[in-house]
Each structure stands twice: as C-alpha cells, then as structure tokens.
Amino acid sequence: MSTTTDAPDDCRRQLQAVVGRLADLVGRLHGLLEEEHAALTSQDADQLRAVADRKRLCAEGIEKAESERRSLCRSAGFDIDESGMLEFARWCDPGLGLQADWKRIMRTAKRSESMNRVNAAIGRARLQQVSDALTILNGANPGQNLYDAKGSESTGFGRRALALI
C-alpha cells in the first residue's frame, strides 16, 4: 500500500512521463540491436563502432529513467521490482494503461536481452575467426598454444610464419 502524501493523480502523471521515456528508450535500444546484428553479419566495422556509441548513450538514458522509476516507486511506498511496479501502476492508474505500457516495455526488454546475447555470440565467433587466422599466419595450428608452459615461444616441427615463406 502507498505511504506517500501525493495523490494518485500526481503519481500517475510522474510515472507516465518516466514510463513514456523508458518505452521510447527500450524501443530505440531494440532497434540499435537490430542494426548491430546487421553490422555483425555484414562485418561492417565502421557501422559496429557507430552503433556501439549509440547503444552506450541509449543504455545511459535507460539507466537514468530506471533510476527515476525506482525513486517514484520507493517514494510512493512500493517495491521497485516488477510486481511492485505493477501494484504502483494499478494504484495510481485504475484504468490500467500504465500496467499495459509497463508490460510492453518488459516484453521488449526481454527480446532485446535475447538479441544482445545472440549479437555477443556472433561477436565472439568473429573474434575467434580472426584469432585463428592470425595463428595460421604465424605458422601454428588454430587452438595450439603459441607459447609453451614456461612462456617461451613454441617452436614445434615445421612452424614458420607464412609471412616469411
């Protein structure tokens, strides 16, 4: 139950503003993750750098809006977790529009989290491919250590850098 002295209408207006910003930012982040996916699959390094910068700014905006949301929940006497947020929205917005908006935000955030994991896996795979190619160019087999247990350069049979051939 709420312990705030603010009327539900005041809380609703404040929460609507924050939820609106979060919906915009989470939607924008999802779009950026789609751009990142396209850049990863086309191996466009310039586009990846540009998307990374925009993702960082978007994530900072989400964190700021989320901090405001948590503060509103606390000041109204509700928990900051998902169920507390839904209770808060129900209390200050009996029409349930805020609850529906919050549920949409959470669905988009979950899809974005999944897409981010996929993009990270693609990035790791690309990095491994580059690492393997460099290993081959240095005359070793991919997955083979270039250094022995003592930290000395491995000099196995037939190991010569391709650049020297």
The distance of Cα 147 from the centroid of its chain, to the nearest Å, equals: 35
Does residue 147 sit within a domain? no
Q: pLDDT tens digits for 14-31?
A: 999 999 999 999 999 999
Please, which residues have CB within 8 angstroms of residue 105's CB and are 6 or more apart in sequence? 19, 22, 23, 26
Question: pLDDT tens, 27-53?
Answer: 999 999 999 999 999 999 999 999 999
Nearest to 127 by CA among 43, 35, 50: 43
Res. 9: pLDDT tops 80: yes
Phi first, then psi: what are they for 146, rounded to 5°? -80, -15
Contact by Cβ (8 Å): 153, 146: yes
Distance CA(55)–CA(53), nearest Å, equals: 5
Ramachandran quadrant class, 43 (left: phi over 0; alpha: psi -120 to 50; beta: rest)? left
CATH number at residue 69: 1.20.58.300
DSSP string for 52-79: HHHHHHHHHHHHHHHHHHHHHHHHTT--
Q: Which residues of 77-88 are buried (b: 16+ CB within 10 A; e: fewer)?
A: ebeeeeebbbbb
Establish if 13 belongs to a structural domain: yes
What local confidence, expressed as pLDDT, does residue 2 receive?
44
What pLDDT sits at residue 144? 60
Cα–Cα distance measured from residue 54 to residue 111, given in angstroms and rounded to the nearest whole number:
19
CB atoms within 10 A of CB 117: 10
| Domain contains 134 | no
Lowest mean pLDDT among 9-23, 74-88, 146-160: 146-160
Whether 150 is covered by a domain: the verdict is no
Domain that holds residue 61: 8-123
Q: How many domains does the chain have?
A: 1
**Category of 82 on φ-ψ map: left (φ > 0), alpha (ψ -120 to 50) or beta:** alpha
**pLDDT-derived band of residue 79, with 50, 70 and 90 as boundaries?**
very high
* Within a domain: 153: no
Q: Is residue 67 part of a domain?
A: yes
Output the average pLDDT for the chain: 86
Share of the chain above pLDDT 90, in %: 68
The answer, yes or no, to whether residue 73 has pLDDT greater than 50, is yes
Residue 155 lies in a domain: no
In a domain, 58, yes or no: yes
